[in-house]
Chain A
Amino acid sequence: MLVNRRLILAHFWLAFAVFGLALFLGAWQMLVRSPLYTWIGNPEWYYRSLTAHGTAMAYVFPTLVAMGFGYSITESALEQRLVGARWAWAGFSLIVVGAVTAMVPVALGRASVLYTFYPPLIGNAFYYVGVVLVVVGSWIWVALMSVNLRVWKRAHPGKPVPLAMFANVAGSYLWAWTSVGAALELLLQIIPVALGVRTTIDAGLARVFFSWTLHGIVYFWLMPTYIAYYTIVPRAIGGRVYSDAMARISFILFLVVAMPIGLHHTFADPQVGAGFKFIHSAFTALVALPTLLTVFTICASVEIAGRLRGGRGMFGWIAALPWKNPIMLATAFSFVMLGFGGAGGLINMSYQLDSSVHNTQWITGHFHLIFGGAIVIMYFAIAYDLWPHLTGRVLADLLLARIQLWLWFVGMIVTTFPWHWVGILGMPRRMAYFDFSDPAIAPQAFSVTLSAIGAFVLLISGLLFLFILARAHASRATDAGAYRFSVAVHPVRSVPLALNGYAIWVALMIALTITNYGYPIAALVARQDTSVPAVYVGAQ
């Protein structure tokens, strides 16, 4: 029962439009610092583009996808009209206003600080205010998800919350709490300096605040993908969810441990004690658990589909899977990229292994493979799956969709594998220019060239995706019926109270934040001698 289709379509279209623009910037960046292009002359242009690319891809695009998908889940899984649709439009408008407010100073070259802010670099205040507006817009969505679930629970006392909605609200709570870190950094530290109220900033504390957000945000990006794994994929390929309870436990684990582990992003920072780095490293290892649970459950669910379709034997069910179905294809690609990206992630979270790849191109390769690869390819799948229900028109071009997914997969592998490799060879990240004629790095020229070519394959795939979605608006009308989610092997009649709500888990998440972040933050706040003069960047 999708009533507010215009609202959902607005979110998706804005998300994908922003994504398309940021893809151009990304491909351009890959080109200009590769051996294929002579130096642009001014590194500021590179960092300007990088800031825009990062801000659009990290804050605007996934937030809008999560919001749009969240609204569709609310209406279709709960089978009730969205409560507070006006508020939802208000949140959407805040994101539009915020994105424009942030992008104008970036385009003018007055905020080339990269999306992770990097104080003591300070850009134009409007950039930060814009980012805050985007986040505030998404907080409206968080509140709406909570309110809608409450309304449903009141009308259905004791009934199990549908898995899709349970996961969706878990994701929204995770986002609400994880975005607090960056919000504190922006509101208490950066914006006062950007406005000129203060001229010094505690860069170390700011980095700790940002790390609070930096890892949880990745799992917020991941949430729509995992929701799609559990609630779209089995239905789309004719299977069943292997275990509904396992799914709930996975999402609960994400909620509890995705956020209080962010200090593994500050392994090389002197202002954080080694003991806390170890605690965060240990808890980061724990977050691999829900992913492993998910991989197991989804493989089992897919196997059910393969066997229902007549697959026999140890591996025969794999051949029996509906490989022409874009959702099946996207899921397989996503899992392959999740496997490689996850293995890389295990390296990053290990203190000693990290020291050999820290601040190298390995890291950029890693998060592009995980986010751009494993996560975004499922965003495509979500869009393909939802589109007929949102537009009321057939998505006829399945072949084109498959080509698009293949291109994205191949492009992402070609882009990120050499990227990891040059990182191991020691190539630093956040550099605008490399002199490949120097014998010391000349051997890396081939890998970097390959990577840049991959970026253009990704650009083509991204544009093809937009084309497929746009063309579907003009295809023949259809009645796609109600939008449904996967059902479990064992129908879910009742769920333990603890797996039907969030009280314990939100409490645990906040408690772990206090134990894992309390002392490092308090110690830095209490110290008076840690601030440094701000470095104002931008056109003078």
Chain B
Amino acid sequence: MSARELFTFRNPYFSTGIGVTVGLLVLSVLGGFILLPYAQSDLKFAGLWDAICSTAGLPQRSAPATAPAPAHRLSEAVLTPTMLAYPSRESIGRGATLAQRCAICHGPTGISRADSPNLAGQYASVIYKELLDFRSGARTNAVMSPFAVNLSDQDVADVAAYFAYLPRLPAYHPERQLPKPRIVIYGAPLRGIAPCGSCHGSLDNKAGSPWLEGQSEAYMKAQLQALASGQRSNDISQQMRNIARAMTPQEIGEAAAYYASQPPDVVKATD
């Protein structure tokens, strides 16, 4: 048996096999690249070649047009899960010096008694992102914005590294721990709400999401309401706004009260 005997059109298996396969291929190419594109009345092509390129998946550059400017500034922070993971000692030290000005609201040990967030042991990426957003104006606050305006990129990274370095102390919220409300355990799948812990640290942490245990109830409630109303809009791709809008006022209250009553020792560490 030789290849010459096999690969010849005198061999009926070879000629039929090749013939049928090529025939089907040609037919399906004609169908997929010419017939079907033209059968769709809502698609307009410049010509046959355009139709073929389009159905082959060749990306088409649309005409340059300036995107409409958003009504408010959007967050420009870029985060990856490990970008701030290994800060240098110098960075933490510089951060400690810079952080003295934060103490009046956020507490000398990073634990607030003024309904501001507790920052001790918060994920570095969270502090980094929020400071960048305050600086750019994507998030505004009468107190915070002026502090952030003059920080350099290095300052922001250093402050984030310092607060992430501090130990998580149990916060000053002495009421007893509340049972988990439904919205926290299950989310609400039919409204597109994932369980809080799947981003916020007790199950998993997604870059840029803070852990919430022991934070001020009033603060968390206010933020959820601000996200729901659109007053706060620095969440990337509306991740939190979509969730907050779908939450009922009662659920917002329950989630805030629950997290405020929790000690922060169940939170996942990051690398």
Q: Which A residues contact B (CB, under 8 angstroms)?
A: 39, 41-44, 158, 199, 256, 271-279, 282-283, 286, 431, 433-435, 438, 440-441, 496-501, 503-505, 507-508, 511-512, 515, 519-520, 523, 527, 533, 535-536, 540
Contact = CB atoms under 8 A, between A and B. Distances in A.
A387 B52 CA distance: 56
A504 B57 contact: no
28 contacts: A43-B203, A44-B204, A158-B1, A271-B57, A274-B55, A274-B57, A275-B55, A275-B56, A276-B32, A276-B57, A277-B32, A279-B25, A279-B32, A498-B13, A498-B14, A499-B13, A501-B6, A504-B6, A504-B7, A504-B13, A505-B17, A507-B7, A508-B18, A512-B25, A515-B25, A523-B57, A535-B81, A536-B81
B236 interface: no
Contact of B190 (A39, A438, A501): A438
B17 A282 contact: no
A540 B270 contact: yes
A158 B2 CA distance: 12
B209 to A, nearest CB: 13
A498 B11 contact: yes
B103 interface: no
B69 interface: no
Nearest to B78: A533
Interface stretch (B149-157, B181-189, B251-259): B181-189
B175 interface: no
Contacts of A497: 1, 5-6, 11
A42 B203 contact: yes
Given A278-B31, A512-B25, 12 more contacts: A42-B203, A273-B58, A274-B32, A274-B36, A276-B56, A277-B32, A431-B189, A435-B188, A497-B1, A504-B17, A523-B56, A540-B268
Contacts of B6: 497-498, 501, 503-504
Contacts, number: 115
Given A43-B203, A435-B190, A519-B56, A199 B80 contact: yes
Interface residues of B, number: 45
Contacts of B21: 256, 508, 511-512
B7 A41 contact: no
Contacts of B52: 275
Interface pairs A-B: 6 shortest CB-CB: A273-B57, A278-B32, A498-B13, A275-B55, A282-B28, A275-B32
Contacts of B48: none
Contacts of B13: 496, 498-499, 504
B81 to A, nearest CB: 6
A275 B36 CA distance: 8
Contacts of A501: 1, 6
Contacts of A273: 54-58
Contacts of A44: 203-204
A498 B7 CA distance: 9
Interface string B204-248: 110000000000000000000000000000000000000000000
A158 B5 CA distance: 14
B67 interface: no
A435 B55 CA distance: 40
Interface string B155-175: 000000000000000000000
- Scoring A39, A256, A498, A511 by chain B CB atoms within 10 A of each residue's CB, the highest score goes to A498
B24 interface: yes
Given A44-B203, A44-B204, A540-B205, A434 B56 contact: no
B145 interface: no
Contacts of A515: 25
A536 B186 CA distance: 23
Nearest to B18: A508
B114 interface: no
Interface in B85-140: none
